[in-house]
């Protein structure tokens, strides 16, 4: 099979499945992951797909998007991608050499991992399988994984084992995402079983919430972190200015990028 035929088959797989992974394609076609990444990069230039770390999604119409409540990690990664990249870059500016960072799971925090991996002499603790994989490329980063029960949709670990692994931890910064946030309830999620963020916050000196502007005013069923746990919010500059004032009135630093 030549490269053109392989790429055509990749397009057909995308149309059928919606998402493909580099590792799966490499095994299926018996070529290197570098070759598959080249294929995906070329197809992205043709407007056929959008890439994410480790794979690609087909280009979807707005009507094809699922409810945000339980999007797969890859799908969440692609929503508001440019805003999330700016947020990630701004977040990492708060990190200095020698810091210990706790990185919660999520699409924006995954992009923070892609920025953190460029640094040296930091320690990162995460419950995200994807972020850990990204950070493992840098041997100058001390990396710790929370154990626990894997949630396949978000590729992250939760439960008592994950929370107990944070006992005795003293970190400088926690980066946490959100399904929703408002100036009364704080950070919320649509998953009622999500409790690890509060344990992470208790282990960190500073809590920085990283979330795109679509999350403001959205209310999940579960309060992950109340406002008194937040020090800083970093979001994109499309956020309504009223929200900035509301959070600053609560004593929370509000950064737009």
User: Which domains, ranges and CATH numbers included, belong to the chain?
Assistant: 3-65 (1.10.10.10), 76-256 (3.40.50.1360)
Other CB atoms within a 10 A radius of the CB of residue 43 amount to: 20
Residue with token string 């679509």: 214
d(CA 216, CA 244): 10
Residue 189: which pLDDT band, with cuts at 50, 70 and 90?
A: confident
Half-sphere exposure of 171 (CA within 13 A, CB side): 29
Residue 72 has pLDDT above 80, yes or no: no
Residue-level pLDDT at 60: 57
Global pTM reads 0.71
Instruction: State the first-to-last Cα distance of the chain, in angstroms, to the nearest integer.
Output: 46
Residue-level pLDDT at 117: 96
| CA distances from residue 32 to 35, 66, 148, 197 in whole angstroms, order as listed | 5, 32, 32, 37
What's the rounded mean pLDDT across residues 169-187?
Answer: 94
Quick: pLDDT tens for 19-58. Answer: 888 988 998 998 998 899 999 988 988 888 888 878 888 8
Quick: pLDDT tens for 105-162. Answer: 998 999 999 999 999 999 999 999 999 999 999 999 999 999 899 988 788 999 999 9
d(CA 191, CA 189): 5
Could you tell me how far CA 144 lies from the centroid of its own chain?
Answer: 17
Quick: pLDDT tens for 80-102. Answer: 788 999 999 999 999 999 999 99
Quick: pLDDT tens for 210-246. Answer: 999 988 988 777 889 999 999 999 999 999 989 999 9
């Amino acid at each position: 099979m030549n490269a053109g035929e392989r790429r055509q088959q990749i397009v057909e797989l995308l149309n059928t499945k919606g998402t493909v992974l580099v590792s799966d394609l490499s095994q299926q076609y018996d070529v290197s992951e570098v070759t598959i990444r080249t294929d995906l990069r070329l197809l992205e230039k043709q407007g056929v797909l959008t890439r994410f770390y480790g794979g690609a999604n087909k280009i979807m119409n707005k009507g094809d998007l699922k409810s945000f409540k339980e999007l797969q990690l890859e799908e969440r990664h692609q929503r508001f991608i440019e805003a999330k990249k700016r947020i990630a870059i701004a977040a990492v500016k708060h990190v200095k050499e020698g810091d210990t960072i706790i990185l919660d799971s999520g699409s924006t925090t995954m992009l923070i991992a892609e920025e953190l991996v460029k640094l040296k002499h930091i320690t990162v603790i995460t419950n995200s399988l994807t972020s850990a994989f990204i950070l493992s490329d840098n041997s100058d980063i001390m990396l710790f994984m929370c154990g626990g029960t894997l949630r396949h949709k978000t590729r992250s670990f939760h439960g008592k084992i994950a929370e107990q692994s944070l006992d005795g931890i003293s970190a400088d910064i926690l980066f946490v995402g959100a399904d929703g946030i408002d100036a009364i309830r704080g950070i919320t999620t649509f998953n009622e079983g999500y409790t690890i963020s509060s344990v992470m916050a208790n282990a960190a000196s500073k809590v920085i919430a990283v979330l795109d502007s679509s999350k403001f005013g959205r209310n999940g069923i579960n309060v992950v972190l109340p406002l008194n746990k937040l020090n800083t919010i970093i979001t994109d500059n499309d956020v309504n200015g009223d929200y900035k004032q509301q959070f600053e009135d609560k004593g929370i630093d509000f950064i737009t990028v």
